[in-house]
Amino acid sequence: MNASSAQNSLPPNRYERAEYVKPDGRKLWLYSRTHIDVGDIPSPSPEAVAATPHLRWHPLRGEWVIYAAYRQNRPFLPPPNYNPLAPTRDPENPTELPQGAYDVAVFENRFPSLVPEPGPAPTIDGTLTADGVGACEVVVYSQDPNTNVGELDASHVELLVDVWADRTTRLAERGLAYVLPFENRGVEVGVTLHHPHGQIYAYDFLPPVQVRTLQMARAHRESHGEAWLETFVRTERAASTRVVTDAGEALSVVPPFARYAFETWIVPARAATRLSDLSQQERRAFAALISDTVRRFDALFEQPMPYLMTIHQAPTDGTDYPEWPLHIEFYPYLRAKGKLKYLAGTEQGAGVFANDALPEAKAAELRAVKLPGAS
């Protein structure tokens, strides 16, 4: 360790965090394993995008739908190869992020689906409407546009877990009912920005998937006398056929009820409800499994696997939910080399997924992957 990095190092398991306001009024938060030191805070445009989202109630599915049509105040014509998530190099073409020392950046989405103060929802005869209250944030994983979560340093991914935990806590403090961090990756699923990043959606209501999880987890706890996570971890460790990697404090599993061929869940070895519940040791295991999962996906067909990753934590409405199973779900979209899984009639029209692969076989394939650099 040289003098400079020793000087800048923080105590182990800690990070620095700083908050800024962008020229267009949006918030930016920087997180770093060393001291944060940045120049001017940029924004692609000095003027805010007018966002007045609202919700409408779907009367047959019984769920809210978000409507977010944007009025842009001026045209924005990015130069070729413009990467809004890279640090600003050319002040004539500002990006979302400053130059300087930091590891992870979070900022309020320029085109949000939900905002803190959306303005009143329209009145529609026969349709229930509501204000589009919430938050949409972008999480930039690294300053390097060419890396990914499988290639980052272990301590960098640990910081990312800390960032998700911190944003969840802070959005909860604003009174939002549910915080969903996720990452959607791959040109195959419409992601045109290759710089490694994820997003966070925060809702002022409990979304339907989470309503259902809570019902199911509560029923399990009542009938089994223990949290669903405890039963699941014990059962999967005993069966062992679907465990991909057991990291002690946490494990990755192709669940017996996987809806996507190589669907992989990361679960803590003990019942926990939010990332903020986890000890630093447990966060380290989570981070290691996130990297391990993405590296296995990418090695599987020798191409970057398009995937959706969602982090399922307990609701943030101020209540404790000891029955809630903290876990991360990865949906890899390739079911075989070159073959994407599409959601068609049975999935979208009936809510019944059809999987042409058995979880036991796919877990074996993921275990058998030869990871680059592994001995």
Stretch that binds a copy of itself, among 1-9, 125-133, 140-148, 155-163 (CB under 8 A): 125-133
Please list every residue from 50 through 89 that binds a copy of itself, using CB under 8 A. 56-70
Stretch that binds a copy of itself, among 87-95, 268-276, 297-305, 348-356 (CB under 8 A): 348-356
Does the footprint of a copy of itself cover residue 6 (CB under 8 A)?
Answer: no
Q: Are 264 and 253 in contact (CB under 8 A)?
A: yes
Helix axes 280-300, 154-173, angle to 10 degrees: 120
β-strands 307-312, 334-336 pairing: unpaired
The least distance separating a copy of itself from the CB of residue 136, rounded to whole angstroms, comes to 9
> DSSP states of 248-287 as a string?
SSEEEE--TT-SSTT-EEEEESS--SSGGGS-HHHHHHHH
Nearer to a copy of itself, 98 or 181 (CB): 181
The least distance separating a copy of itself from the CB of residue 327, rounded to whole angstroms, comes to 9
Q: Burial code of 314-345, b = ≥16 C-beta within 10 A, e = fewer?
A: bbbeeeebebbbbbbbbbbbbbeeeeebeeee
Q: Are 359 and 353 in contact (CB under 8 A)?
A: no
Q: Are 207 and 61 in contact (CB under 8 A)?
A: no
Does the footprint of a copy of itself cover residue 14 (CB under 8 A)?
Answer: no
> How big is the chain, counted in residues?
375
The residues that bridge with 205 in the sheet, in sequence order, are none
Does the footprint of a copy of itself cover residue 189 (CB under 8 A)?
Answer: yes
Q: Which of 48, 130, 353, 367 binds a copy of itself (CB under 8 A)?
A: 353
Stretch that binds a copy of itself, among 88-96, 163-171, 214-222, 281-289 (CB under 8 A): 214-222
Nearer to a copy of itself, 161 or 309 (CB): 309
Does the footprint of a copy of itself cover residue 338 (CB under 8 A)?
Answer: no
Instruction: Give the number of other Cβ atoms within 10 Å of residue 297's Cβ.
Output: 23
Does the footprint of a copy of itself cover residue 217 (CB under 8 A)?
Answer: yes
Q: Is 194 a catalytic residue?
A: no
Q: Are 133 and 118 in contact (CB under 8 A)?
A: yes
Does the footprint of a copy of itself cover residue 329 (CB under 8 A)?
Answer: yes
Q: Binding-site residue total for a copy of itself (CB under 8 A)?
A: 75
**Annotated catalytic residue: which of 197, 220, 312, 327?**
197
The two tokens of residue 33 are 């394993």
Q: Are 139 and 106 in contact (CB under 8 A)?
A: yes
Stretch that binds a copy of itself, among 4-12, 176-184, 244-252, 272-280 (CB under 8 A): 176-184
Nearer to a copy of itself, 33 or 327 (CB): 327
Does the footprint of a copy of itself cover residue 257 (CB under 8 A)?
Answer: yes
In whole angstroms, give the CA distance from residue 165 to residue 202: 13
- With a CB cutoff of 8 Å and minimum separation 6, the contacts of 371 are 292, 295, 296, 299
Does the footprint of a copy of itself cover residue 308 (CB under 8 A)?
Answer: yes
Please list every residue from 268 through 307 that binds a copy of itself, using CB under 8 A. none
Does the footprint of a copy of itself cover residue 237 (CB under 8 A)?
Answer: no
Q: Which residues are catalytic?
A: 197
